Amino acid sequence: MAFTIDGTVVQFNLATFESLCKEEKANWLVSSMKGLRSSLSAKTQPSAAQVKQEILAIPGDKRKKYKDALKYLIFSWPGMVDPNKMNVVTSGKITDRIGFQAMFKTMDSTTDFADLQYGISGARAMTPYRLTSGRVRFADDFNNASNLGTGSAFERTWQGYGFLTATNSSVEQKFRTGEKQDLNGKTRGIAQTTRDEYVEFMLASRYSPVRSLGESGKKLKKDTQQSLQTMTGIHGKKQAQLHFQQHARFVRSVRRACKGGIAMVASHQGYRAVDAKVHFVLDGLGDLGKMARKDALPGKGDYVAITSSELCFCCRYWDDPTYPLSPVVKFYINGDRVLPPWQADYTDADAEGNNVYTNQEAWLRYLLCQELIGTKKAFPKFEGTIDGSDDED
């Protein structure tokens, strides 16, 4: 059966592969990719096993350099996934597990180390996920309470308006200070001590918003939530490029912080002590193969949904030897517990009757990218230690 994403058969195109290599200034006379390219362009198509061997023959640093081209190859070359690894089921519903409402009631209501909910905002508001009183806590609550998700730390708005005056010190200061506390000493329902720990971890980790302020060029590609054309209309032609990049830095900081929220629940002693969970809503996402391949959103240029990065983070660290996410993250469709996308291939209707397709093969190809290209970093444990850059941002 042909591998498809969003109903389209995925096919390899040599010209596309070569173009991605040339973006990294590949010189075919001496490039470390020369042997692989030769095999891919041969009259006799190499097997998937041969392609994997060719990739592994490339030095590790060069595999990382050409990771976009190699990712394209791994996602589009036929037969890269062993059919025996596919687990095709009629429904992903786990019949012997309780659904979202009942699962959420198991949370310790006396602690501020509360469960977090993930998924697109529209899905989180669907009927199966509405509580009879109050609402679930989101990673957005931490980000907004800390002046990050609102854009204040970067002096930006999500619509593209803003200034260019943010500095490392101003971003850090606004992130630490956060929004004004209420009469109970909380910010967006979060106790100050809890938010302080979140802030200190973030600032000391690879997900620090200060680090995002220093990013430029290709690293910001998938964070271009507002187009250059939009920036030109708001800020004028002379400053459009500067605002285009600055806005992407702001979005990148939020993307990283959202992954940091999952890491916090999985590794912080306070959350672990109360067996806190991450509730991940898959409603409204359609074919999850788009998430695994990190496809850009339609009509949004190169911008990739933050939900895609969150799901990929869960997949990468699902079986982490120290902080596995498998006991922490629970997936739902229409309020029912379902199997993780990378463990089964199924289609289920969400709360609005639209199909959600896990596309297990896409996730197995994503994991193969991790294995062959070697970009995975150590789990960003909630202990305030700096643990290197993250190629998967």
Residue 211's pLDDT is what? 95
Does residue 52 sit within a domain?
Answer: yes
Residue 385 pLDDT greater than 50, yes or no:
no
249, 215 Cβ separation under 8 angstroms: yes
26 shares a domain with 117? no
158 shares a domain with 280? yes
Mutual orientation of helices 67-76 and 360-373 as an angle, nearest 10°?
Answer: 140
Number of domains in the chain: 2
Count of CB atoms within 10 A of residue 153's CB?
Answer: 27
Residue 77 pLDDT greater than 90, yes or no:
yes
271 shares a domain with 223? yes
The single-letter DSSP state of residue 221 is: G
Does residue 91 sit within a domain?
Answer: no
137 shares a domain with 64? no
Residue 358's pLDDT is what? 98
Angle at 325 between CA 323 and CA 326, to 5 degrees: 120
Residues with Cβ within 8 Å of 236's Cβ and at least 6 positions away in sequence, in order, are none
119 shares a domain with 48? no
134 shares a domain with 73? no
Domain boundary among 80, 112, 138: 80
Q: Max CA-CA distance within the chain?
A: 73
164 shares a domain with 32? no
Predicted confidence band at 140 (pLDDT cuts at 50, 70, 90)? very high
178 shares a domain with 36? no
pLDDT digits (tens, 9 = 90+) for 237-265: 999 999 999 999 999 999 999 999 999 99
Does residue 253 sit within a domain?
Answer: yes
193 shares a domain with 74? no
Residue 142 pLDDT greater than 70, yes or no:
yes
Does residue 110 sit within a domain?
Answer: yes
135 shares a domain with 76? no
Backbone angles phi, psi at 281, to 5 degrees: -90, 125
Does residue 341 sit within a domain?
Answer: yes
278 shares a domain with 147? yes
Query: What's the average model confidence in pLDDT over 182-197?
Result: 94
Residue 134's pLDDT is what? 77
pLDDT digits (tens, 9 = 90+) for 89-133: 999 999 999 999 999 888 888 899 999 999 999 999 999 999 888
Does residue 392 sit within a domain?
Answer: no
Angle at 178 between CA 270 and CA 240, to 5 degrees: 125
More confident residue, 355 or 1: 355
Does residue 162 sit within a domain?
Answer: yes
Give the residue numbers spanning the domain of 341: 100-373
106 shares a domain with 73? no
Query: What's the average model confidence in pLDDT over 277-299?
Result: 96
Does residue 85 sit within a domain?
Answer: no
Residues with Cβ within 8 Å of 89's Cβ and at least 6 positions away in sequence, in order, are 339, 344, 345, 346
Predicted confidence band at 384 (pLDDT cuts at 50, 70, 90)? very low
Predicted confidence band at 392 (pLDDT cuts at 50, 70, 90)? low
Residue 383's pLDDT is what? 66
| Mean pLDDT of the chain, nearest integer | 94
Residue 386's pLDDT is what? 44
Alpha-carbon distances of 214 from 6, 239, 249, 253, rounded to whole Å: 35, 18, 8, 11
Helix (H) or strand (E) holding 280: strand 278-281
